[in-house]
Chain A
């Protein structure tokens, strides 16, 4: 770079670009706002006109708004650009340009403008409005995490604004803070002083996510009665009813909605999934129509239908196609770097020597009652589709058990740990803080938070001695689990790795790093999952028990008795226990929607696939072979019976 020309960073879309001072003077901003860079992403805040003075341009700006409202977009844009060249902080003109760029799907520009708009000083109401608009824009794009601070700023500016509370509810719900989201929805309704169809529908979805299906169903009834033109609401209601076991009603809701919005693909896909759940694969295929017009999730549904029909090469062909579409068109290629870095960091931190010195919750209290508290958590490990949900469904039928599913995961505590311990480091290094001062009691405090969440979920109630925790992320967090519950039982549901890959490839679930991107990606991610559990088991004293899916489906009562004996529950298990004859728990985990009588057609499913396609697993052979051997299944290529 020639001397005298300084690089300037333009952060329009978060990505740094290098612009020279020379070009800066004349060139438009790289974010695509249409403004010059000095008036946009490279503007000097100190050189801005005072906010009050921009009102001199208000008349012109109102004119631009008028053009916009009259759909005279060219005129509106030209005028807004002129005004903003004079005063880049002119609120009304900024709003007009933001709306135009948003409508044009120019997301870098809209983001830059929306962010600037949201940051303008001014009256609380104006600030709240700008933040809310920007937050809504981000939500519409699925950028919920970015929307979080924006929505929060709006709430702080005008806490009594129902819209602001509603948006906060959406953002929290979608970022996983579901119970917190509910609180904001309820505030919004209270502020409105009346029922609102949209807020209620969102609240109902929130309740569904919390497993409170009966409440969700009731709220959906009200919401959709108030506002029937809500496609998403109808879809949500159908899912709630399906989850409650009201399959007929669910199908009726979907059919009615599809009659009204026949082209809606989300509704059609939900209806297709209902077909598949009821084992009507041909109906599903017919409903989806010609394969070449389908999107990836629809092609995956087709893969499941083919699997049910026993057309295995067609099933593989479908999921291969779907995954390719997701990779190539959806930008969902496997990104293992962050996963590998996390695995390396956790493995480096959680060694026997290092963990031995860390304080544990309940330390000093020698009686086991004091150590384990009012209930014993039972942590269920297992890769996706290994059968931990089946185990949970079975446990749900036994007295003394409450079902925690994935609600309120330990992983949330890991994320919050640096804040809770005032550490500058990230997890897990932040655990070093536990060695010092009042953080010696941090494991007890963290356990309190975890148990508080379980209490709010209604899981802690008389007669409950065991609460399951089936959070998928638990495989990352056995180190923290050890500190919080040093002697809690950990049940690991194992399943033949090839079966796991097959089941996941056809299933539309997004994993971290897009590990669902293809067979090699998923095999690699499965390897990381196995490696983390192996590492923690090797370095920590865990009360760990493996359970094989294949044994569980062959002999549910027998395996369940072994599990109960391991965790110390003296509970009688009926011989005829099955997954579908249970009273549904409250809150109701999502996986209960798919429950069916315990069956064995998922066990060693890969054999039929390999018989039809001998080379199906060739590309993952090197990854899988040692894992299969370690688990004690028959080596790859050997198909006679199974060691277990």
Chain B
């Protein structure tokens, strides 16, 4: 497009700046990337008013709409840009992700395929399609397309990681763990590993106290993979464990650990390091040799204390059902896994239960609008840490939860749990099964249709 094209009307009102189109587009793009969504929205609106048929304005404005949560508008704008400029590969490439966000997986696949047609050498186009195929649970195809992306750009961590997730979800654990190693090259993994010239541990024995184990990733992963610390300690006795302060009291329950640190500068000398999430690969964990759960337990005194508290708070003679309905909003898949409290309505209809929410974070506010039939005790505000949560779970009949750290806490202590999962779940829950080799006390309730929870909670409620 020509530099002479201008965004603002021909005779702008005094005080309004006229800037060249290319500059305006760049500015819009920058605002969007810097998360300045209100400003971006404002600029997009002005640009669209000046040039309503410009495909790139429409496209960027669509992205801004998407980021602002106005998905229908985003799709309308971006589809229009595609009609005007059907040969621009970028448009279907981005469209693919927007359709995914809207839950329109078939459209997303078509857009992804079109993007590859237009730009067969664009690794990103392949990657986007691989994501959609994972969502569609077309895992073999997802791996194939991710491989195509990797062939074009061998050092493409996101594509490797996507491939890992597809392989792991398909139960192809050994291959999956290898690709999984790429996770530390992901942008969001920065700072998770120490800055050191020491090597990553290769699984060979080391002298006592010379292995540093790092509690990387989320709480859930740390709890899940924490079970392998005793295995590591057999090879490298008394390992140093570096983890956040909140995790320390949990991991302390595991045998064989040398010392705990919460800051890199306190680790002292070591010969090699290994993130917790690297242990399954070294230990050769598949779906048939997972070390048993039950490796964590809350202190008996705390269990008794919470028992008394719950006796005081909950009406007698009702089954206590613990509940978590929302995850950490910053989690990449939170939209997929998180529900609203009121979506658990089928549970609330039962008059033989008392809901004990162990939800933490801002989402607890939803408990204020609860008027269901079953009594609901919003216990989150009293919970200090995961040890409290464990002690509470020992005092309830069952936990009903989404895929979040509390599910791992429950699984690790062997608390009976109903876990509701999206159609395309996190890899660790595998496919087509109601149980999980990681946690025998957890029963899985899967979405039948992607992004549609109807029927899922009903099944949970019916089986309580």
Contacts and interface: CB of A to CB of B under 8 A. Distances in A.
A binds B: yes
Nearest to B305: A366
A538 B312 contact: no
Nearest to B313: A543
A566 interface: yes
B367 A537 contact: yes
B381 interface: yes
13 contacts: A352-B381, A356-B382, A366-B308, A367-B308, A368-B308, A487-B313, A534-B365, A537-B370, A538-B369, A538-B378, A545-B375, A566-B315, A631-B371
B381 A356 contact: yes
Nearest to B379: A541
Contacts of A541: 313, 377-382
Nearest to A545: B375
A607 interface: no
Contacts, number: 70
B121 interface: no
Contacts of A352: 364, 380-381
B36 interface: no
Contacts of B382: 356, 541
Contacts of B377: 541-543
Interface in B309-352: 309, 311-313, 315-317
A134 interface: no
B371 to A, nearest CB: 5
Dominant secondary structure at the B interface: helix
A487 B311 CA distance: 10
Interface string A524-568: 000000000111111111111110000000000000000001101
Contacts of A302: none
B368 interface: yes
B366 interface: yes
Contacts of B317: 565
A286 interface: no
Interface string B365-399: 11111110001111111101000000000000000
B262 to A, nearest CB: 21
A49 interface: no
A273 interface: no
Nearest 5 CB-CB pairings of A with B: A538-B368, A534-B368, A538-B365, A352-B381, A537-B368
Contacts of B367: 537-538
A594 to B, nearest CB: 28
A632 interface: yes
Interface in A402-457: none
A87 to B, nearest CB: 64
Given A352-B380, A494-B371, A538 B316 contact: no
Contacts of B379: 541
Nearest to A531: B368
Contacts of B380: 352, 541
A371 interface: yes
Interface of B: 305, 308-309, 311-313, 315-317, 364-371, 375-382, 384
Contacts of B369: 534, 538, 630
B384 A356 contact: yes
A57 interface: no
Contacts of A325: none
Given A371-B312, A544-B375, 5 more contacts: A537-B368, A538-B378, A543-B377, A545-B375, A566-B315
A177 interface: no
A603 interface: no
A379 B380 CA distance: 22
Contacts of A565: 315-317
Nearest to A570: B316
A570 to B, nearest CB: 9
A420 B311 CA distance: 33
Given A356-B382, A541-B377, A542-B378, A568 B368 contact: no
A355 interface: yes
Contacts of B370: 537
Contacts of B308: 366-368
A555 to B, nearest CB: 14
Contacts of A566: 315, 375
Contact of A539 (B312, B316, B364): B364
A542 B380 CA distance: 11
A344 B365 CA distance: 16
B359 to A, nearest CB: 10
Contacts of B316: 565, 568
Interface string A371-392: 1100000000000000000000
Contacts of A366: 305, 308
Interface string A120-151: 00000000000000000000000000000000
A568 B317 CA distance: 10
A568 B381 contact: no
Given A566-B375, A630-B371, A632-B371, A539 B381 contact: yes
Question: Which of B312, B365, B380 is the most central at the interface, judged by chain A CB atoms within 10 Å of its CB?
Answer: B312
Interface in A72-95: none
A400 to B, nearest CB: 16
A534 B378 CA distance: 12
B401 to A, nearest CB: 19
Interface in A607-636: 630-632
A344 to B, nearest CB: 16
A540 B384 CA distance: 13
A577 to B, nearest CB: 20
A367 B312 CA distance: 10
Contact of A368 (B312, B315, B364, B371): B312
A546 B371 contact: yes
Question: Which of B308, B316, B378 is the most central at the interface, judged by chain A CB atoms within 10 Å of its CB?
Answer: B378
A631 B342 CA distance: 12
B277 to A, nearest CB: 30
Contact of B368 (A487, A536, A545, A631): A536
Contacts of A368: 308, 311-312
A234 B370 CA distance: 49
Contacts of A568: 315-316
A487 B371 contact: no
Interface string A352-370: 1001100000000011100
Nearest to B317: A565
A538 B364 contact: yes
A487 B309 contact: yes
Nearest to A368: B312
Question: Which of B311, B379, B380 is the most central at the interface, judged by chain A CB atoms within 10 Å of its CB?
Answer: B380
B273 to A, nearest CB: 34
A542 B364 CA distance: 13
Nearest to A542: B378
Contact of A487 (B312, B364, B378): B312
A538 B305 contact: no
B387 to A, nearest CB: 15
B371 A539 contact: no
B375 A535 contact: no
Nearest to A539: B381
A540 to B, nearest CB: 6
A239 to B, nearest CB: 37
A543 B317 CA distance: 16
B313 to A, nearest CB: 5
Contacts of A535: 365, 368
A352 B364 CA distance: 9
B276 to A, nearest CB: 28
B365 A539 contact: yes
A537 B315 contact: no
A568 B371 CA distance: 20
B368 A533 contact: yes
A565 B314 CA distance: 10
Question: Which of B367, B377, B381 is the most central at the interface, judged by chain A CB atoms within 10 Å of its CB?
Answer: B381
B376 to A, nearest CB: 8
A566 B354 CA distance: 10
Contacts of B378: 537-538, 540-542
Given A366-B305, A368-B308, A487-B309, A538 B366 contact: yes
A564 to B, nearest CB: 10
